Structure 1
Amino acid sequence: MDEEALFRDIHHHILRQAKAGERIDTETELATRFNVTRYKVRKALSVLSQMGVVDRAPKRGMTVNALGPKNLSAQIQVQMDIANFDIREFIEARQLIEVNIIPLAIRRMTPALLGRLEDAISRIEANAGNSAEADRWDREFHLLLLEACGNRVLQVFSAALVTYFEKTTENLPQNDPQFFLDIAKNERLLLTAIKDGREDEAKALLSHQLGEQVELLQGTR
């Protein structure tokens, strides 16, 4: 049995046990059930742990975590890593989804989320000289915008896409505070357009920002 098939079978088996309220098999029991070495089982369980599917602790055994949006996004992210998609595919998917959730975000935005979005922008400005930290808060801004749309299915898939771009931080300008100050300025304009219900303007601003980042990552800027 190849590793991908083993991973899939162990994943399905563990989820079936959890759904039925059964005790989750140990590493040794899984190795016996699937007629493979414990080493191969351990590798599969390690990936499931990274995905947030299971929690493994000494003497406590293995438990299956509740599949909330955060864990589902983590699972999708791991599968995307395994699939090794081209960055252009991530970029296209992110642009299509993020820009088109704007109408939902406008209708469902709350004062609390507006406050968190404004705080994220302020933190981008405060950390403009630290590209890694400023980029982290920029991703947080986009994740909050996705949260504002109020659609958990879109949020799960989109969060996996946005999180992927953590890997591209090193491609962003270093020691260039103005780059992140410009991002923060654009996001303030975007947030104002959302608050005022100006859908077309908000979509244009977001599309422009994502487009500039695409050019940067593709080396055309």
Structure 2
Amino acid sequence: MSKEQLLSNFRNYLLERGLGPRDKLDGEIELARLFEVSRGDIREVIMHLCHLGVLERVKNRGTFIKDVPHAKLEEEIAFCFQLSGFSFDDLKEARICLETALVPMLIKRITPELIQSLHGNISAMKELAGESELADALDRDFHLLLFSCCGNRALKMFSNVIYLLFQKRYRKRFMTLEWVMRAAKGHAAILDAIAAKDTTLATRLIQEHIMPT
């Protein structure tokens, strides 16, 4: 069995077993027997996955699935995306697809408390329009708050990755006073449409909000 095939089989084994963060793997001897390879081959696969941050070895205890914080995972994914050379247009199109597709779910799940928080975010963004870094953080938080009300962790993670990429490579060019005020106005219109449960209008406003960037 080639090393590439062993690694692929080992990954499938982890998934099929339904192992999750902090779960312990079988010992190297048992795994070597299971895959019908040498203990050295299994150790090499385990070390490779440890270097990738998937597994961790604990002295005198064994090998475990690593519990990776979401923020760390998002940073790693964003880094891989950066190396892959995704363009600004790729990111913008991904944002439009992701955010507009969520509108029906947002309208169903948004709460009065979250609407109030979003209004507070918009007010703070206007007040701090001259502070580019703070205004930028508030702009990002507005969109991430919308994702959070969907209650879907995977969607929230994907949105964070897109924002990390956008922020690292393109964000500074947009951070002018005029842009911040226009963005805050766009946020207010989007929020009003969502609160009014107007799916068509909210979808159009989100698309118009992202397109000029």
TM-score (norm 1): 0.66
Q: Is structure 2 residue 121 aligned with structure 1 residue 120?
A: yes
SS of 1:212's equivalent in the other structure is coil
Give, in angstroms, the shift of residue 105 of structure 1.
Answer: 0.5
CA distance 1:100–1:14, shift in 2 (3 Å): closer
TM-fit CA distance, 1:171: 3.7
Q: Relative contact order: is structure 1 or structure 2 higher (C-alpha 8 Å, sep ≥ 6)?
A: 2
Question: Following the alignment from structure 1 to structure 2, what is the Cα–Cα distance between the partners of residues 75 and 8?
Answer: 21
Gaps of 5+ in 2: 1-6, 28-39, 58-62
RMSD across aligned positions (CA): 4.2
Letter paired with 2:81 = M
Rg larger in structure? 2
Q: Look up the equivalent residue of 2:107 and give its one-letter code.
A: I
Question: Is 1:135–2:133 an aligned residue pair?
Answer: no
Distance 1:197 1:82, change over 3 A: same
Distance in 2, matches of 1:111 and 1:46, equals 45
Q: How many residues align?
A: 200
Amino acid in structure 2 at the alignment position of 1:153: A
Give CA deviations for 1:93-140 in whole Å, capped at 9, x if unaligned.
Answer: 111111121111011112332233223222321221122221121111
Q: Which residue of 2 aligns with 1:199?
A: 199
CA distance in 1, matches of 2:195, 2:131: 29
- Residues 135 and 47 from structure 1, CA distance in 2 versus in 1: closer, same or farther, beyond 3 angstroms? farther
Structure 1 unaligned runs (5+)? 1-6, 26-31, 57-61, 214-221
- Compared CA separation, residues 14 and 54, structure 1 to 2 (3 A): same
How far did 1:207 drift?
0.7
**What does the per-residue CA deviation read over 1:168-217, in whole Å, with 9 as the maximum and x for residues that have no partner?**
4554245x32320111111011111111101111111111110011xxxx
Please state how far the C-alpha of 1:70 moved relative to its aligned partner: 4.7
Q: Aligned pair 1:93/2:94, yes or no?
A: yes
Q: Give, in whole Å, the separation in 2 of the partners of 1:125 and 1:8.
A: 51
In structure 2, the partner of 1:209 is 209
**Range with greater deviation from structure 2 (95-104 or 153-162):** 153-162
Contact in 1 for aligned 2:106/2:150 (Cα 8 Å): yes
**1:11, distance to aligned residue in structure 2 (A):** 9.0
Equivalent residue for 2:37?
none
1:124–1:99 CA distance, 2 compared to 1 (3 A): same
Cα gap change, 1:88 to 1:66, in 2 (>3 Å): same
Q: Which whole-Å CA distance do the structure 2 matches of 1:76 and 1:185 have between them? A: 32
Taking only the aligned residue pairs, the percentage that are identical comes to 26
Match of 2:182 in 1: 182
Contact 1:102 1:149 in 2 (8 A): no
Alignment map for 1:26-45 (pairs within 5 Å)? none
**Paired amino acid for 1:129:** G
| CA-CA distance at 1:22 after TM superposition | 3.9
**TM-score scaled by structure 2?**
0.68
Amino acid at match of 1:198: D
Offset of residue 90 of structure 1 = 1.5
